[in-house]
Each structure stands twice: as structure tokens, then as C-alpha cells.
Amino acid sequence: MRLRDDHAFEQHKARISAILDDLGDVRAEDSGKRESLRRFEIEVDAPRSPMTVRARFRYLGWWSRDGRGWRLDRYQYDYFDRVSRARLAYHRHNLPRGANTLHAHCEPSGGRSLARHFRAYEVDLLEAHEEFAMLYVIGRPITCGGLRPLQVTEEGADA
Amino acid sequence: MVRLGRLAPCLDNFGIVAIVRNREVVQSPPVELSTALTQPFYSPAEVARLAGLHPATILSYIHAGRLYAIKLSERTYRIPNKAVLKLLAPELATPPRIIERPYAKVDLSEADREPEWPWPEE
């Protein structure tokens, strides 16, 4: 993903903040906008305070300068279901045996995950959020069905 | 007057605490909307009742993007608690808290560390 300039980045931030703000109380941190590497983290516990937290949505992106704009290099999009103590996440970052690898994490409700990392494709933050928000509203347990364990080579490609 | 009496609970949601009935002022206790909304989600019909509006109006707000809702199927929506609060009493909703650190040095290797799991006990 690439944002063409600082203004586009600010629009991206405002859009994500507005969407998450409808679920609960948003906390965000934007670091390094005047530097060559930038980190944007946004997190929301749902529902809002003072109600008991049922889920946490946590989205992190690491961006690098690309001309006048910004390119997304790494991300961690996580959904934590606090009620059933389950987790689903889409990540792109270095793994011990693979550089900048797209992968998913899945910790099912009431059980251990079959694998530490699962295969995944590149997802946009809003796509991931749509899926997580649906899980949150339906309240269906996370089962990890359909996910395949990831095996990576030194180059980061699927084995 | 009967019509006004039916309206009372709706008006109460907006903090209107007194109505006139039979030339007498009838007081109702103020409702703290922020704590009165106890469900994590509401259906469009429930929001319509809370707001004293027709359900079709709530659906039109959703379709126009004025009210956030999660679409479960073609005709089923759920509206999160905070979105309802922002519709009915925006002044009570906590705004996003965004910290800006423009000159902070970002360490890209941090991206390779997994978030804490399982959820830390509070």
C-alpha cells in the first residue's frame, strides 16, 4: 500500500480513527512523520468505557518514505476476543526463517493453535477490520478453520 | 396530551426532564444516557425507539453513512453502543486520543516482535 503524500496519510489516519471511534474509545500514536520511518498504531477496546471490554482491535503499520509519499513496509493487524480468549491476526514482518513474510496468527477459542503461523495473503487494514468487526458482532468463536500452516524458506516464500 | 405522554420516555432520552400534562408540570428523573446504554450493540429498531424516530429513518442514516453499522446480511445491521451514543448525545462520547511524535526515531525491528498473548490479566 502506498499513500501519495503527507495529506493522504492524514486522511488515512482520520478515516481509520473515525471508523474505530464508533466501536469504543480510541487510542492512537503517530511517530516519525518528519523522519524517514513512520509508525502508526491505533487501538480500540470495545465496547466503550466503562463497559466490560469484550474485544480489542489493534492495528500497527510501519511506513517508509517513498518520494513525497509513504509506503507500508510492515504491519500487524490483530483482533483479540476477550470473552473466549481467542485471537486472529494478519501480519507482515520478518520471521526467524523468512524476510517480510505475510502470515496469519490464529488462537482458537478454548484450545491451542495447530501452528504458530498460518499462510495469508496481503490484506488492507479496512478489509481486516471488516472481518474482525463481523466476528465481534456475531460473537462466533474463532475456529481457525480453513487456515493452513505456514512453512517458509530463507527467502520468505512458501515452501 | 396523550400524545405528549407517549413522547415522554423518548424526550427523557434527550435529557428533557419535565412535560406539561393537564396544566401540571410532570417531572421525570434525568437519564444519564452514557450509562443507560448497556448493550454492546443495538438493532436499527432499538435505536429508532431510543431516538424517537422511525426505523426507516435510522436505516436511511446508515445508508447515508451518518450512523455506523455493521452489516450482517442484506437486511440485518448491528449498531455498536458508541455509535448510538454519538448519535443521541455526541457531547458525552469520548473523542479519539491521538498522540503525535513527529521527530521520534522508529525502530523497524520492533515490527518483528509479536504482540503480547494471551491477553494480560488486569
The pLDDT of residue B2 is above 50: no
* Mean pLDDT of all residues in B26-51: 78
What is the band of B114 on the pLDDT scale with cuts at 50, 70, 90? confident
The pLDDT of residue B30 is above 90: no
Check CB contact of A25 with chain B, cutoff 8 Å.
Answer: yes
Check CB contact of A113 with chain B, cutoff 8 Å.
Answer: no
pLDDT in tens, A65-120: 988 899 999 999 999 998 888 999 999 999 887 888 999 999 988 777 778 889 99
pTM here is 0.82
User: What does the alpha-carbon distance between residue A155 and residue A159 come to, in Å, rounded to a whole number?
Assistant: 10
- Give the rounded distance of the alpha carbon of A40 from its chain centre: 11
- β-strand B76-80 against B70-73: which pairing, if any? antiparallel
- Which residues from chain B sit within 8 angstroms of residue A35, using beta carbons? 102-106
**Does B118 sit behind a cis peptide bond, omega within 30 degrees of 0 on the bond before it?**
yes
Residue A67 CB partners (closer than 8 Å, separation 6+): none
| pLDDT value of residue B20 | 58
Query: What nine digits make up the cell of A123?
Result: 490484506
Residue A158 CB partners (closer than 8 Å, separation 6+): A119, A150, A151, A152
- Region of A58 on the Ramachandran plot (φ > 0 left; ψ -120 to 50 alpha; else beta): beta
User: Which of B78, B96, B99 lies nearest to residue A21, judging by beta carbons?
Assistant: B96
Indicate whether this complex's ipTM tops 0.90. no
How many beta-carbon pairs under 8 angstroms link A with B? 127
- Which residues from chain B sit within 8 angstroms of residue A34, using beta carbons? 102-103
Distance from CA of A19 to the nearest CA of B (A): 8
Distance from CA of B56 to the nearest CA of A (A): 21
Judge: A32–B40 Cβ closer than 8 Å, yes or no. Answer: no
**Does B40 sit behind a cis peptide bond, omega within 30 degrees of 0 on the bond before it?**
no
Segments of chain B assigned E as strands: 18-21, 24-27, 41-42, 70-73, 76-80, 97-101
3-state secondary structure of A3: strand
Judge: A105–B40 Cβ closer than 8 Å, yes or no. Answer: no
User: Which of B68, B106, B112 lies nearest to residue A31, judging by beta carbons?
Assistant: B106
| pLDDT value of residue A79 | 94
pLDDT in tens, A14-68: 999 999 999 998 999 999 989 999 999 999 998 887 788 889 999 999 999 988 8
> Is the alpha carbon torsion for A14, B95, B63, B41 positive or negative?
positive
Contact between A20 and A42 (Cβ < 8 Å): yes
Which among A60, A51, A3 has a CA at the least distance from the CA of A31? A60
Give the residue from chain A lying closest to B78, CA to CA: A137
